[in-house]
Amino acid sequence: MTGRRRSPGSPEDAPARARLLAGFAGQVRDALGHIGDPAYLETHPLTTFLPEDPRGRKAVRGRTLRQALLEAVTSLHPGAGAVNQAPHSRLIQLRYVDGLSAREVYGRLAISRTEYYREHQRAIEAVASILRGRWEIETSPSDSPDRARAGADLPRPSHNLPIQLTSFIGRERELVEVKALLASSRLLTLTGAGGCGKTRLALQVAADLLDRFADGVWVVDLAAQVDQALVPESVATTLGLREEPGRPVTAMLVEYLHPRQALLVLDNCEHLLRACGDLADSLLRGCPGLRILANSREALGVAGEVSWRVPSLATPRPSERLSLDEMARYEAIRLFVDRARAIRPDFALTDLNAPAIAQICWRLDGMPLAIELAAARTNILAPEQIAARLDDRFRLLTGGARTALPRQQTLRAAIDWSYEPLTDSERKTFRRLSVFSGGCDLDATEAVCQGDGIECQDVLDQLSALSDKSLILVTEGPTGARYRLLETIRQYARDRLIESGEAEVARNRHLEWFASLAHRAAP
Ligand SMILES: Nc1ncnc2c1ncn2[C@@H]1O[C@H](COP(=O)(O)OP(=O)(O)OP(=O)(O)O)[C@@H](O)[C@H]1O
Ligand SMILES: [Mg+2]
* Of 233, 281, 277, nearest in space to 253 by CA: 233
Give, for 474, the enclosing helix (H) or strand (E).
strand 473-477
CA 488 / ligand 2 centre spacing (Å): 18
Pairwise CA distance, residues 479 & 462, whole Å:
20
Residue 76 reports pLDDT greater than 70? no
> Can you give the pLDDT at residue 262?
93
Domain CATH code at residue 476: 1.10.10.10
> Can you give the pLDDT at residue 156?
36
Q: Are residues 200 and 275 in the same domain?
A: yes
Comparing 60-69, 251-260, 484-493, 513-522, which segment has the lowest mean pLDDT? 60-69
Helix, strand and coil in the chain, % to nearest 5: 60, 10, 35
Residue 361 reports pLDDT greater than 90? yes
Q: Could you give the percent of the chain with pLDDT greater than 90?
A: 39
Higher pLDDT, 26 or 5: 26
Residue 43, domain member (yes or no): yes
Q: Are residues 332 and 302 in the same domain?
A: no
Q: Could you give the percent of the chain with pLDDT greater than 70?
A: 74
* Burial of 129: CB neighbours in 10 Å, binned 0-12, 13-18, 19+: middle
* Of 291, 309, 307, nearest in space to 299 by CA: 307
For 20-65, write each residue's pLDDT tens digit: 555 556 666 666 655 434 455 455 555 555 544 454 445 445 555 5
Residue 5, domain member (yes or no): no
Domain CATH code at residue 224: 3.40.50.300
CA 37 / ligand 1 centre spacing (Å): 24
| Per-residue confidence band for 421, with pLDDT thresholds at 50, 70 and 90 | confident
Higher pLDDT, 429 or 94: 429
> Can you give the pLDDT at residue 351?
92
Residue 496, domain member (yes or no): no
Residue 317, domain member (yes or no): no
Are 79 and 71 in contact by the 8 Å Cβ rule? The answer is no
Pairwise CA distance, residues 414 & 405, whole Å:
10
Domain C-terminal end among 309, 341, 363? 309
Q: Are residues 27 and 92 in the same domain?
A: yes
Domain C-terminal end among 413, 446, 468? 413
Pairwise CA distance, residues 519 & 20, whole Å:
67
Ligand nearest to the CA of 196: 1
Residue 163, domain member (yes or no): no
Q: Are residues 18 and 143 in the same domain?
A: yes
Higher pLDDT, 409 or 522: 409
Q: Which mutation among 176, 199, 220 tests ligand 1's pocket best, with the greatest number of atoms within 8 A of CB?
A: 199
Q: Are residues 194 and 283 in the same domain?
A: yes
Higher pLDDT, 118 or 278: 278
- Atom 15 in ligand 1: which residue has the minimum CA distance? 197
Q: Are residues 146 and 15 in the same domain?
A: yes
Q: Are residues 245 and 362 in the same domain?
A: no
Work out how many domains the chain is built from and give that number: 4
Pairwise CA distance, residues 192 & 206, whole Å:
18
Which residue range forms the structural domain that includes residue 81?
Answer: 11-153
Residue 359, domain member (yes or no): yes
> Can you give the pLDDT at residue 456?
87
For residue 192, which atom of ligand 1 is closest to its CA?
21
Comparing 87-91, 228-232, 384-388, which segment has the lowest mean pLDDT? 87-91
- Residues in contact with ligand 1 by the CB-under-6-Å rule are 166, 168-171, 192, 194-200, 268, 295, 297, 335, 368-369, 372, 407-408, 414
Q: Are residues 251 and 360 in the same domain?
A: no
Q: Are residues 449 and 481 in the same domain?
A: yes
Highest mean pLDDT among 48-62, 183-197, 465-479 belongs to 183-197
Residue 222, domain member (yes or no): yes
Pairwise CA distance, residues 348 & 415, whole Å:
30
Over residues 318-323, the mean pLDDT reads 86
Ligand nearest to the CA of 200: 1
Ligand nearest to the CA of 416: 1
Higher pLDDT, 338 or 37: 338
Over residues 262-268, the mean pLDDT reads 95
For 148-181, write each residue's pLDDT tens digit: 333 333 333 478 887 767 788 999 999 999 999 9
Over residues 350-360, the mean pLDDT reads 94
Q: Are residues 142 and 178 in the same domain?
A: no
Q: Are residues 334 and 448 in the same domain?
A: no
* Of 259, 298, 261, 240, nearest in space to 186 by CA: 261
Residue 2, domain member (yes or no): no
Domain C-terminal end among 413, 439, 462? 413
Over residues 91-119, the mean pLDDT reads 79
Q: Are residues 74 and 144 in the same domain?
A: yes
